[in-house]
Structures are given as C-alpha cells and as structure tokens.
C-alpha cells in the first residue's frame, strides 16, 4: 500500500512534468525549467545583502556628508531650501547671504557655487546674515554689458483726476527694433510750471520774453508737456529774448545819406549771406545781425521807439553799409542758430513720443528723435532708490546691464564706476567690487552725469560693506 509520502512524490512528479511541458514542450526534461531563475534570485539576494552591509560599514567608520563646501571661495546653496551661505572658517559657522552680489563680493570672481543637502550641513552652527541690503541678486555677464545708445523719452501717465502728468521713460541700450526718427525741426515743450522751452539745435532754450514767441511764431504751436527731468537731459542754451539796445530812438549814423535811429534794423539789398543780410543801428555805427536776432529785435516792443510806425527792416544798399561806421561792440548771434527754425507740430507725432537719443564713445552725441516705446518692458524703480532726478520708468533688456563711468565735466570722465542691472537701478562700486564681481577687464561707458542721474540709485557695492552685513 502507498504511503502519503509516495503519493506526494507522485503528485510533485506529475506537476513537474506538466510544468516542463508548458514551459519547454519537453515533459521528460532532465532539468527543472525554473531552476536557473531560482538560483539567480537567490544569488542576487545574497549579493544585495552584502552591498547593504558594506554601505552600512562604510557609513559607520566614515560618518557625515560632503565637506567640499568648506573650501574658500565657495557659495553654499542648500538643496532643499535654496538658501545661500558662505562658510566663515574663522568662526566655524555658516552665514546666510542676503543676495548673490554680496556672495560674490565675499568670495571673489573665481567663486564656486555648490549645492549641498541639509543632511551634509547638519550640526554646523549658523551665524548672523551678511551682505548688502538692496544689492542685486542677478548680475549681467560681461558679454551682456551694453554700449548701445540710450533713449530718454517724454511720456505721460493718467492721474486719478482723469488728466495726465508728464513722465520719463529711460530705455538703456535701445533694442534694434526700436526705430528712432531724427527730428530736423525745433520742438516747443512746456514743463509743469508752465515755462516753455524750445528744443533747438539739440539744446534747450527758455522762452524768456514774449517777443520771442512773436518773432519765432511760437504762439500758434501747442507746447508738448514734458517733465523737468526729461528737459534737463538737453544741455542748456541761451534764453530766447531780444538783446538789450541802449538809447533806442536816438539819432544814429546816416546810411545812404539818410538819417537813422538807434535800434533800427537795416536790410542790406542784394546780400545773400545770413551774416551780411541785416544790420542794427547803434550809437557808434552798424552791427551785423543774423536773421534770428533781427526777428527778435523787430518783435521787441521797445524797438517801436526807433520807428514812426510798426517796426520793420529798413532797406539799404550794400554801398551805404560799407561806407557807414562799424560798431565797436558787435551784437553777435547770442548763441542762437542763424535762421528762425521750422517747428514740429505735435499732431504729427501720432503714437510716437519725443526722445533724446544719446550715443557714447568717440562719436558721442545727443539728438532729438521720435520713437514708439509702448512695447518696451519697463520696470518701476524701487521707492527707496528714486529721487526727484530719476526717470519714472527704466527699460533694460533681461539679463543685460551697463558698466558706466560718469563725466566730471563734458568730455572728462571721472574714476568712479557704476553698474546698472536689468532691474533699472545703478549701483556705485569700489575698485575691489569691480574685480570681485568679474568686471575688472571691462571698459566702462563714459556718459554725462545728468544722464546717469536719471537711473535710480542703489547701495554701494563693496566687499567690506558685504562682510559687515
């Protein structure tokens, strides 16, 4: 009679034949088809156990994480939180850094950023934060430092009252798609207090006398509202006003055998040159006038004393002028262009705005242009960086910037250097900071101090200040 063991062996034999038949097609195979899998699984389990045991032993005899972040010139960034630190080897503490610029000032231009886990930093004491409050977190690479022209544009912003107020948009390193059209005419503008200026010959000239409005036909043109800060970007020219003439109405030297009066404007017949076309009668002789000065004097109400009727240019011959005495003190052009300007009608601007375009380098210049600036990405400067000279909005390309050196006088750059970043703020830098931030070999852009003043100012960047916290 069969025992239960015999029955179990018979069952296992039958199951084994069925398994072999299903897996290999050979029910009478000498080797079990799953034997290799079983052996491999067992061997893998043994090897895995040995590896785990080895790692445990290594961790027991060599505890702790990476310590390369302790090396000098390393900026430590905690993986899990993104917090930046510098390691103070003297005190043996990690000091949180307020911003990336401060971290570079503390570690130098050859610094290395290492991402370290919280576990590796466990047990290291933390010190007080260091760095310069308000210093930039993002610095432009040397390849992104711009030397392109700047545009200072007269824009406007709506008020809660429904009216608009003049504002200033400063575009630093104007992009290539920003087309600027030169203006070959004069432009009449007005600042908030109502004072009118003529932008003429790329200078600002105050309309200081009603006679200038009459002489230059300014009363028929609407003045474009602008902010004082925009106007101050243009160099100051002379005031638009007629020159004073002593003794107006008294007898002057005869010309062409005819009597004259002091203050009369004479028109020389046949003259084809601006400097030879007009003369002013003075007590001791005739003084040359440009057409602009002639128009200003004729529009001066004080000149009426020199005429029987309304002031007008008196025609004389060139021979009579040559034979007449010459005044000892010439009137000159008063610093004004020779001829009265053509005026730009504000209605012609459309969606463009007037701008001052400043270029730098050997061909440095400042010119009045018009441009469309509505598409520019402009930032509102931080409140603490703004003063009465600052632009309302500053546009700088993302990741770009400018290293500048302001002039102490026209054409005479100083030694101070400033860094302008893409947040639209300028930061004064010490010589040590220029090197620490990696700008030691960069040639700065020289520009007028009045132009730099349009950029809101941030804190001084200096390694000593960064270490002091």
Q: What is the band of 410 on the pLDDT scale with cuts at 50, 70, 90?
A: confident
Contacts of residue 400, Cβ cutoff 8 Å, sequence gap at least 6:
140, 144, 145, 146, 173, 422
Q: What is the per-residue DSSP string for 330-359?
A: ----TTS-SSPPPBPPGGG-TT-EEEEEEE
pLDDT at 325 over 90: yes
Q: Does residue 200 carry a pLDDT above 70?
A: yes
Structure confidence at residue 161 as a pLDDT band (50, 70, 90): confident
- Computed over every residue of the chain, the mean pLDDT equals 87
Q: Does position 355 have pLDDT exceeding 90, yes or no? A: yes
Residue in 73, 55, 70, 60 with CA at minimum distance from that of residue 123: 70
For residue 438, with 0-12 CB atoms within 10 Å meaning exposed, 13-18 middle and 19 or more buried, which class applies? Answer: middle
Mean pLDDT, range 178-194, rounded to an integer? 89
Residue 49 has pLDDT above 90, yes or no: no
Answer whether residue 338 shows pLDDT above 80. Answer: yes
CA 299/CA 307 separation, integer angstroms: 13
User: What's domain 251-323's superfamily in CATH?
Assistant: Type VII secretion system EccB, repeat 3 domain (2.40.50.910)
More confident residue, 324 or 12: 324
Show me where the domains of the chain are located.
4-61, 68-121, 150-233+345-452, 251-323
Strand partners, 155: 167
Q: What is the mean pLDDT of residues 73-90?
A: 89
Give the model's pLDDT for residue 105: 95
Asked whether residue 63 carries a pLDDT value surpassing 60, the answer given is no
What pLDDT does residue 442 have?
94
Residues 434 and 415 sit within 8 Å (Cβ to Cβ): no
- How high is the pLDDT of residue 33? 58
* pLDDT tens digits for range 287-323: 999 999 999 999 999 999 999 989 999 999 999 999 9
Query: DSSP readout, 313-331?
Result: PEEE-HHHHHHSPBPSS--
- Residue 242 makes CB contacts below 8 A (sequence gap 6+) with 209, 211, 212, 215, 293, 296, 297, 299, 300, 302, 303
What is the C-alpha separation between 197 and 164, in angstroms, rounded? 20
Least confident piece of the model among 8-12, 84-88, 358-362, 425-429: 8-12
Residue 356: per-residue pLDDT: 93
How many Cα atoms are found within 13 Å in the side-chain-facing hemisphere of 276? 11
39's tokens: 């052996």
pLDDT band, residue 335 (cuts 50/70/90): confident
For 113-160, write each residue's pLDDT tens digit.
Answer: 899 888 888 888 998 999 999 999 999 999 999 999 999 999 998 888
Q: How confident is the model at residue 364 (pLDDT cuts 50, 70, 90)?
A: confident
Q: Report the chain's C-alpha Rg in angstroms.
A: 41
Per-residue pLDDT averaged across 230-253, rounded? 93
- Reported as a single tens digit per residue, the pLDDT across 255-288 is 999 999 999 999 998 766 665 689 999 999 999 9
Closest of 468, 461, 402 to residue 432, by C-alpha: 461
Q: pLDDT per residue over 412-423, tens digit each?
A: 888 899 999 999
Those residues whose C-beta lies under 8 Å from the C-beta of residue 66, and which sit 6 or more positions away, are: 116, 120
**Residue 289 CA: distances (Å) to CA of 131, 297, 401:** 64, 10, 49
Q: Which of 262, 273, 254 lies closest to 321, judged by CA?
A: 254
446: pLDDT confidence band, cut at 50, 70 and 90?
Answer: very high
DSSP percent split of the chain into helix, strand, coil, nearest 5: 25, 30, 45
At which residue do the structure tokens 């004069």 appear?
186
């Amino acid at each position: 009679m069969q025992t239960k063991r015999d029955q179990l062996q018979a069952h296992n034999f039958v199951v084994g034949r069925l398994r072999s038949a299903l897996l290999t097609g050979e029910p009478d195979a000498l080797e079990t088809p799953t034997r290799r899998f079983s052996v491999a699984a067992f061997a893998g389990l043994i090897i895995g156990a040995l590896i785990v045991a080895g790692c445990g032993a290594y961790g027991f005899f060599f505890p702790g994480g990476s310590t390369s972040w302790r090396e000098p010139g390393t900026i430590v960034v905690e993986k899990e939180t993104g917090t930046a630190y510098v390691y103070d080897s003297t005190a043996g503490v990690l000091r949180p850094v307020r911003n990336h610029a401060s971290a570079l000032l503390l570690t130098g231009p050859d610094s290395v950023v290492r991402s370290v886990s919280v576990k590796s930093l466990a047990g290291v004491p933390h010190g007080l934060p260091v760095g310069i409050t308000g210093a930039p977190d993002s610095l432009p690479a040397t390849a992104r430092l711009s030397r392109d022209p700047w545009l200072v544009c007269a824009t406007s912003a709506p008020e809660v009252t429904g009216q608009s107020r003049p504002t200033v948009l400063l575009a630093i390193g104007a992009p290539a798609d920003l087309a600027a059209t030169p203006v070959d005419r004069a432009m009449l503008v007005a600042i908030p207090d109502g004072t009118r200026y003529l932008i003429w010959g790329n200078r600002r000239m105050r309309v200081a006398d009603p006679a200038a409005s009459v002489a230059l036909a300014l009363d028929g043109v609407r003045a474009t509202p602008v902010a004082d800060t925009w106007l101050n970007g243009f160099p100051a020219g002379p005031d638009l006003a007629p020159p004073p003439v002593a003794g107006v109405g008294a007898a002057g030297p005869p010309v062409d055998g005819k009597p004259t009066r002091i203050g009369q404007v004479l028109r020389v017949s046949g003259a084809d040159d601006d400097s030879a076309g007009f003369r002013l009668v003075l007590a001791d002789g005739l003084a040359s006038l440009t057409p602009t000065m002639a128009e200003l004097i004729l529009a001066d109400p004080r000149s009426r004393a020199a005429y029987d009727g309304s002031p007008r240019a008196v025609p004389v011959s060139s021979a009579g002028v040559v034979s007449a005495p010459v005044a000892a003190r010439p009137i000159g052009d008063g610093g004004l262009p020779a001829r009265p300007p053509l005026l730009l009608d504000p209605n012609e601007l459309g969606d463009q705005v007037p701008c001052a375009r400043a270029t730098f380098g050997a061909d440095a210049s400042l010119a009045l242009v018009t441009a469309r600036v509505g598409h520019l990405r402009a930032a509102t400067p931080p409140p603490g960086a703004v003063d009465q000279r600052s632009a309302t909005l500053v546009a700088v390309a993302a990741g770009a910037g400018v290293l500048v050196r302001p002039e102490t006088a026209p054409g005479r750059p100083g030694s101070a250097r400033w860094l302008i970043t893409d947040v639209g703020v300028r930061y004064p830098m010490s010589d040590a900071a220029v090197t620490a931030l990696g700008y030691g070999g960069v040639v700065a852009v020289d520009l007028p101090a009045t132009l730099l003043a349009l950029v809101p100012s941030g804190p001084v960047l200096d390694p000593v200040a960064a270490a002091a916290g």
